[in-house]
Amino acid sequence: MTASLAGSKIQVAVVGGSGYAGFETIRWLLRHPHVEISGLYGPPDELGPIDGFFPLLSKQLPMRQELFDIAKISRSAELVLLCVPHKVAMGYVPKLREAGLKVIDFSADYRLKDPAVYEKWYCPHTDVGRLAEAVYGLPEFYRDAIANAQLIANPGCYPTCSVLALGPLLKEGLIAADGIIVNAISGVSGAGRRPNQKYHFPDRNENFEPYAVGTHRHAPEIRQVLSAIAAKEVSLTFVPHLCPMDRGMLCSIYAQSVKESVTSEKLTDVLNDYYGNAAFVRVRTEVLPAVKYVVHTNFCDVAARMVNGRVIIFSALDNLVKGASGQAIQNMNIMYGWDETTGLI
């Protein structure tokens, strides 16, 4: 038992509680037995009682979102869950880290290791020196590093869903590192809380469409992580689609087997071996992954099959849980030495 368990709870600050990921983070933190939310912080135009943004939180968290104030945060918290957009995050992180705070950053700012790649897909990076310090927060692949991290780059939703499906098979050399296709779908909460014609209910409901084909910023993240796991350059085509539902994500992935003898059973065995001790990955054989089986949970379900000589892998998760807030809590649990599933049932 850590010191923090024996006595008082860990104090956690949430920055950016007025977005969907912030909201979901608050909900999971409220259930967690070892932490307390010490404060909520946001940009100047997003201040006020948190239940003004999310009336569901009334009577659960009678707290105001206040202006980001490093002095106040450092006095009252030891860990910050940073749920703000890219670019904003790398403005806050240096201050938070200099104040000695642990940070779990939900944005993309510390995920891409090469600042040139970051600049190509996002904008110039203003905190390059801290990229090496950041640990990519995918526990199923980087648990040990997470345990000792002070700054976590919490993975993107599509990367989590894709990497959990492909990682073990690439690591074991069962599938070719090139020519992979990730056909992904997401619920609309993945697009954030800001209203837009694309997400206006009558335009989005009873609709389904591809978007950001060849231009989605999660593609370089997926490539970087998978290349590191495979220890070789991985190339893939990533095509996301919007699906008319609140939350949930499903990847249908197509790959080539390296050996002719690969079977569905062999693929499943490799996944089972890799995820045997993973609390939040389920290797499916009797049913295929489906959004309904993972939504509002921190699970990622995966299944792999040989079909007509091609490897097909399905993976599903809740974009707001295992794809964002739940994974952050899981990382927090690991950082503090708590059981990985604490507060995540």
Which residues between 213 and 232 bind a second copy (CB under 8 A)?
Answer: 213-214
Stretch that binds a second copy, among 97-105, 112-120, 208-216, 225-233 (CB under 8 A): 208-216
Query: 155 is written with which tokens?
Result: 């993975």
Closer to a second copy by CB, 129 or 244: give it.
244
Query: 13 is written with which tokens?
Result: 């600050």
Instruction: Kindly state whether residue 260 participates in binding a second copy, applying the rule CB under 8 A.
Output: no
Instruction: Kindly state whether residue 5 participates in binding a second copy, applying the rule CB under 8 A.
Output: no
> What is the distance between the alpha carbons of residues 52 and 70, in angstroms, rounded to a whole number?
24
Instruction: Kindly state whether residue 203 participates in binding a second copy, applying the rule CB under 8 A.
Output: yes
> What is the distance between the alpha carbons of residues 81 and 325, in angstroms, rounded to a whole number?
9
Instruction: Kindly state whether residue 187 participates in binding a second copy, applying the rule CB under 8 A.
Output: yes
Please report, as residue ranges, which positions from 19 to 58 form the binding site for a second copy (by CB under 8 A). Answer: 20, 30-31, 33, 52, 55-56, 58
> What is the distance between the alpha carbons of residues 311 and 100, in angstroms, rounded to a whole number?
46
Whether residue 228 contacts residue 116, with contact meaning beta carbons closer than 8 Å, is answered with no
Give the H or E element holding residue 90.
Answer: helix 89-98
Work out the number of other CB atoms within 10 angstroms of the CB of residue 256: 14
Instruction: Kindly state whether residue 128 participates in binding a second copy, applying the rule CB under 8 A.
Output: no
The nearest distance, CB 200 to a second copy, in angstroms, is 4
> What is the distance between the alpha carbons of residues 343 and 320, in angstroms, rounded to a whole number?
15
Please report, as residue ranges, which positions from 51 to 90 form the binding site for a second copy (by CB under 8 A). Answer: 52, 55-56, 58-60
> What is the distance between the alpha carbons of residues 282 and 167, in angstroms, rounded to a whole number?
14
Instruction: Kindly state whether residue 207 participates in binding a second copy, applying the rule CB under 8 A.
Output: yes
Instruction: Kindly state whether residue 129 participates in binding a second copy, applying the rule CB under 8 A.
Output: no
Instruction: Kindly state whether residue 181 participates in binding a second copy, applying the rule CB under 8 A.
Output: yes
Please report, as residue ranges, which positions from 238 to 257 form the binding site for a second copy (by CB under 8 A). Answer: 239, 241, 243-248, 250, 252, 254
Closer to a second copy by CB, 100 or 309: give it.
309
List, edge to edge, every strand of the sheet that includes 180-186: 209-210, 236-242, 180-186, 249-255, 310-317, 300-307, 281-283
Dihedral Cα 187, 193, 199, 204, nearest 10 deg: 40
Please report, as residue ranges, which positions from 290 to 309 form the binding site for a second copy (by CB under 8 A). Answer: 290-297, 299, 305, 307-308
Instruction: Kindly state whether residue 314 participates in binding a second copy, applying the rule CB under 8 A.
Output: yes
Query: 167 is written with which tokens?
Result: 């990682």
State the binding string over 147-166 for a second copy (x if CB under 8 A, else -): --------------------
Instruction: Kindly state whether residue 13 participates in binding a second copy, applying the rule CB under 8 A.
Output: no
Catalytic residue among 157, 161, 243, 300: 157
List, edge to edge, every strand of the sheet that includes 35-42: 48-49, 64-67, 35-42, 10-15, 79-82, 102-105, 151-153, 135-136
The nearest distance, CB 81 to a second copy, in angstroms, is 17
The nearest distance, CB 158 to a second copy, in angstroms, is 14
Stretch that binds a second copy, among 81-89, 97-105, 164-172, 201-209 (CB under 8 A): 201-209
Residue 157 annotated in active site: yes
> What is the distance between the alpha carbons of residues 322 and 317, in angstroms, rounded to a whole number?
6
The nearest distance, CB 7 to a second copy, in angstroms, is 19
Instruction: Kindly state whether residue 206 participates in binding a second copy, applying the rule CB under 8 A.
Output: yes
Of 134, 15, 31, nearest to 72 by C-alpha is 15
Catalytic residues, by residue number, are 157
